[in-house]
Structure 1
């Protein structure tokens, strides 16, 4: 009886967290699914079935939004994984001011995404921006980074890589520092080079950290909105629209039920991509 009471007593400590989780995450999620089947305002609602979903898939820019969302997620994830790993290897080596350099790499993570988007919009201005001004000094004509339809989504993805590579680097540093030093010592005794150390020790043994970076960066890329909206607003035209910006435009237009259905579709879209990727990379980790 005492064991049962002690077990129930321990659950009481979880109750506040469970209530907060239910009120601020689970309940709003369930209500979003419900309201996606309704026409609703702040004071009234009417059940309309699948009409919102049908209308959402008839959006003229939806195909562009799906394409840009996937492109943005894959590009940003690849950049963060590659650069994060390279920065982590460099910052784990014996260099001077290593702590300062780590802080500099991590610093963009602390800045608001909207602030970063506005700053890069100014820097990428076709005539007065610092990027094209410096290119002009060496005789190159810089493109209209955010005004050219074929370049806009590339420019936003580059900015997201710059913003998010710091957290990827920190995760990789933690993974690399967790590798037992005896492995590197044994390789050096056998005459192994720095590249062999990276290829045969650092890369395979930092796989758990890499998996974490991939999942976090992929989910962040699939649901990205703030940078896109701050830098391009989905333009020019619909060329840099992603699913989240399309949904926001529907909310701004007062189509709340339609936008809620879009949020549900975005949630399912992310789940259908993220869960298989998560299972695949974790299966590979187990196989190793």
Structure 2
């Protein structure tokens, strides 16, 4: 009997072997963690995201205060879209998101190439490029508000020393939104650069060596090797920058508060102004509009970008 048991335990295909046990064990039971391990994360996700989202959709259909609410259907949405500042805010939001995301992709790609090449003080320069990402957005906004002041700002003062009459960066309706967008790019390009650096470092050296053997120059190397193989990094930068641009508020509010007039208003600042005025249901409807806008733009774009394959 002992001999039989020992043979079963040592036999790779016997009933006592681990292979046999694995065949008898259902696939779901072999999961690394029990199902209830996921329960805390699910509860946190539901409390912090699902419940507020559902509540926002409900309260966007009501006229509410802290103590009571009245169901009014789609009246908030009708009123929100009849606001004269909404179309301006919607246009500015799209322009702001496209400009900031486009510049972050281009500059992040260029800086990523530079900071993965053999240059002096490469580590220090990487820290310098990434440092603005760590600075408070409100602090950056207030600092550049002072620097871009048309009369006392350092930028126009420096331009005046060389005989150039500096414009009203934040007071000219034609320049206010673009000025804020450029500050946003300055602050956020460091993150795009780090993502591109990670993408470039992950490219196998064999591809570049093969391209050099075939006589590829620097431009051909960038066009046919670095750019296609860094596609995942590009997709990440585009999506993150676009989402951030569509949801932008803090930098715009710190620098211009949507002015002059409504020329630099974005949807988030229009919503905030409705909150300030006490129209809570109306501003909640604006939040739902912003949520749907981000979803409608980013979700199909994400699917389209991730569907394409890299072609060398």
- 2:43 corresponds in structure 1 to 19
Select which of 294, 305, 308 maps to 1:270: 294
Name the CA distance, whole Å, in 2 between partners of 1:11 and 1:2.
16
- 1:109 corresponds in structure 2 to 133
- 2:70 corresponds in structure 1 to 46
Q: Are the counterparts in 1 of residues 231 and 310 from structure 2 also a CA contact under 8 Å?
A: no
Deviation track 1:114-173 (CA, whole Å, cap 9, x = no partner) reads 111101111101011111111111111110000001100000100110111011001111
Name the CA distance, whole Å, in 1 between partners of 2:199 and 2:208.
15
CA gap of 1:186–1:287, structure 2 versus 1, over 3 A, is: closer
Following superposition of structure 1 onto structure 2, how do residues 248-263 of structure 1 map, counting pairs within 5 Å? 248-263=272-287
Q: Which runs of 4+ in 1 moved over 6 A?
A: none
- 2:214 corresponds in structure 1 to 190
- 1:30 corresponds in structure 2 to 54
CA gap of 1:26–1:91, structure 2 versus 1, over 3 A, is: same
SS in 1 for 2:171: coil
Structure number with bigger Rg: 2
Cα shift at 1:283:
2.5
SS in 1 for 2:90: helix
2:162 counterpart of 1:129: no
Q: Are the counterparts in 2 of residues 123 and 130 from structure 1 also a CA contact under 8 Å?
A: yes
Name the CA distance, whole Å, in 2 between partners of 1:49 and 1:287.
50
Name the CA distance, whole Å, in 1 between partners of 2:33 and 2:205.
43
Cα shift at 1:263:
0.3
Structure 2 unmatched ranges of 5 or more? 1-23
Q: TM-score, normalised by structure 1?
A: 0.96
How many residues in Structure 1 have an aligned counterpart in Structure 2?
288
Name the CA distance, whole Å, in 2 between partners of 1:186 and 1:73.
38
Name the CA distance, whole Å, in 2 between partners of 1:283 and 1:132.
47
- The one of the two structures with greater contact order (alpha-carbon pairs below 8 A, sep at least 6) is 1
Name the CA distance, whole Å, in 2 between partners of 1:214 and 1:5.
40
Query: Which region of structure 1 is more displaced relative to structure 2, 9-18 or 210-219?
Result: 9-18
Deviation track 1:46-96 (CA, whole Å, cap 9, x = no partner) reads 111111111101111111001100100000000100000000000000011
Q: Are the counterparts in 2 of residues 207 and 285 from structure 1 also a CA contact under 8 Å?
A: no
Following superposition of structure 1 onto structure 2, how do residues 60-79 of structure 1 map, counting pairs within 5 Å? 60-79=84-103
- 1:240 corresponds in structure 2 to 264
